[in-house]
Structure 1
């Protein structure tokens, strides 16, 4: 592997009009400095039991893929232990320094990866500090854990695999039971750390899903701190997605609806928006009462606005899923009927977003058309005007899931009965439609 630099020569007197001559300088990396796997300059050389040296990142990817042989010798690895090769590392650093004039940067001395026994020792100290109610001691340890996780993905895995999430979650419940206000600093730091360790193990779920922990997270959602709210909704999404018991527990919290809507109305980041939509989806999927509450609090209009403006496929899928569930109640449908962009947006999302988005969009249109109680069939006429008939016919021709096919077929029958009363326009033509916001 070669590095090439181009260096211009100046005139003898250093005049700006130097002769435009140049030379090609070629630097070759010595073979024993290159990783046998990536063929790049090794940054953290380690030696295996077979005596071959590799870059740590490359050999870790090799072993994590399930390989149990040495890539060079093909001999079975009697041990996966990686011994740092300090001699080669120092030689590489010296070589980098010697060639610094050609733009080669000296590789930094790699940090020693975290070992399981170090994690166990930290967690033991953390448990002791929690039992003493020592908030400052716990804060120092949480900061250390977060710093180690940010250093490398290997450290993060080591921390997660050695039970850190369960220990932190137990501490969260303990400090929450003591006092939200007095322990707010350690509580928010623990939750931020846990958000880095998702998915949660079953023990961590039980601690974070307890009534006192959920009430604390509700309090966090209502607070004005951005990062606190972000961490909370990420953890809540994880809880409600693993067990219906946690969905019911969150649903029993009266004050959780408004802050979830606020996270969508005043987005912090795409991750928090998606997490909030997921929590809302699980809530409205299990409770008709929540469908009505979210509809009355303006969620339908908010989601329609998001679908108009957002190009994020995942957000569109989740927004359509929530709308499909809310349209299962009368209050949700009435809000949809009164919004001038409901049908144009839903029809536009019927095709070209994703298979999942198509499924939810068809179901939402089907619920609005099937459950209309007005004799004049205004919704059906509007659907025809924005091109629903052609799009659903096309969808049936290109193929879709069975349940989507059934609803699409029924929709075609409903729309066909009103085709003579309206002329179709393109569904993407929003020029004459007035947005109510």
Structure 2
């Protein structure tokens, strides 16, 4: 028994001494200074050299340049070029050193993939322009697919591509193939371009001009109506970028046969949350423009959009909830939209429920809609909307909203609503709401 115990103790002592010896060896390993980045002082995993001749780790020097610095951190000289050149010699030396010290637990750094350069991107974009002018849809499709692959490769490549105005070039190609006589033969390349544009968001104003043309809009509506699921999703996302509160594009889109119906269908028969959000955002711009078109709102109302939005709001996620409430708020700007919301039994319960439950933006939209519904009711003897609002606990929530704080415009509407609701409180006992029992003040 004692002998066994002594053997175990001796074994533990030997293992401990061996571990201490290994730790001592590790402490003796020193990383050569020329393997360290002058900025981060860490081991360089992707060494690159700039015009001043100093080598840095790519990630560190790119962050230095992105911060607005155009001088060398070591020599303080102004960079003649901001294009980093891979230092293959140093990288190979670092990898060999890692292999030689593998026994000490040092792993060999992998050979980094060289990111795309602005020159390479410019060459590809130039070829895309040439291919579109020749209406060579096969060549153009291959080039656009190459851009897509580079964008997906890394965020660094995506920044480089977007900085080279890729969105404008590809959008111009989309317009060119949209107005071509043989539209059916160009469906494949147009679909590839739409898919690429979804990865280049946000697009610049020049790209929006190309996408806002009559030919481009007709093409995107065609994909919304007759494309496959992927094409419909891409068309909705790109259309959201193209429309962005542009009155001319909004009017042009509304005049295209089947455009509004296709947008509503994406909400009624959802493909994915992203497509639903994009469709809601397009509709939001159409009903909340500076000079909202009553005809557009009336058409959306006739399609049953009000009841569809209220049903979605019952259990929608935050972003969809915000956008649906924004669309409802726009619809309530017209008499026909307000009447439709007023006559729906779900309206007031859902709107009051969303107060202080989703987000500040959702609360602002909800208050605005309730205010619009109640505005014409405060002087009537019946006060149907006001009484219904009291029944579902609007008074308590609005009072709490003012206490916890909100935007000035929302606060003004909430205060006015409280005055109108207070006129009917003696006729009806408010129902206690438990929706905000755990709500904590932000101060």
Work out the CA distance in 2 between the residues paired with 1:394 and 1:48.
Answer: 59
Shift of 1:194: 1.9
Mapped pair 1:197 → 2:188: no
How much does 1:365 deviate? Answer: 0.4
Question: Does structure 2 retain, via aligned residues, the 8 Å contact 1:344–1:427?
Answer: no
Asked whether 1:111 is paired with 2:117, we answer: no
Listed as ranges, the matches of 1:188-337 within 5 Å are 188-241=191-244, 243-285=246-288, 286-312=292-318, 314-337=319-342
- The separation in 2 between residues aligned to 1:269 and 1:107, in whole angstroms, is 40
SS in 2 for 1:309: coil
- Secondary structure of the equivalent of 1:46? strand
**1:358: which partner in 2?**
363
> Residue in 1 aligned with 2:147?
145
- CA separation in 1, counterparts of 2:281 and 2:196? 21
Select the residue among 383, 396, 420 that pairs with 1:414.
420
Query: Which structure: greater helix fraction?
Result: 2
Say if 2:396 and 2:433, in contact at 8 Å, map to a contact too.
no
- Distance across 1 between alignment mates of 2:98 and 2:61: 23
Please report the TM-score for the alignment, with normalisation by the length of structure 1.
0.84
Change (3 A) 1:224 1:163: closer
Counterparts of 1:151-170 in structure 2, within 5 Å, are 151-170=153-172
Which range moved further: 145-154 or 412-421? 145-154
Residue 347 in 1 paired to residue 360 in 2?
A: no
Shift of 1:240: 1.6
Q: Distance in 1 between matches of 2:434 and 2:297?
A: 29
Specify whether residues 108 and 308 from structure 1 end up closer, same or farther in structure 2 by C-alpha distance, changes over 3 A only.
same
Residues 329-372 of structure 1: per-residue CA shift (max 9 Å, x gap)? 33333433343332122112222533332221111001112245
TM-score (structure 2 length as normaliser): 0.83
How far apart, CA to CA, are the structure 1 residues paired with 2:198 and 2:285? 19
Larger Rg: 2
Backbone CA RMSD of aligned residues: 3.0
For 1:306 and 1:160, locate their aligned partners in 2 and report how far apart those are by CA, in whole Å.
35
Q: Distance in 2 between matches of 1:144 and 1:226?
A: 22
How many pairs were matched up?
Answer: 412
- CA deviations over 1:99-124 (Å, ceiling 9, x no partner): 66777654332233323332332233
Q: Which residue of 2 aligns with 1:3?
A: none
Question: Which consecutive unaligned segments of at least 5 residues does structure 1 have?
Answer: 1-17, 430-437
Please give the alpha-carbon distance, in whole angstroms, between the structure 1 residues aligned to 2:217 and 2:301: 24
Secondary structure of the equivalent of 1:109? coil
Q: Quote the Cα distance in structure 1 between the aligned partners of 2:60 and 2:251.
A: 45
Match of 2:385 in 1: 379
3-state secondary structure, aligned to 1:182: helix
What SS class does the counterpart of residue 181 from structure 1 fall into?
helix
8 A Cα contact 2:48 2:58, kept in partner: yes
Q: Which runs of 5+ in 2 are unaligned?
A: 1-10, 436-443
**1:45–1:84 contact (8 Å) kept in structure 2:** yes
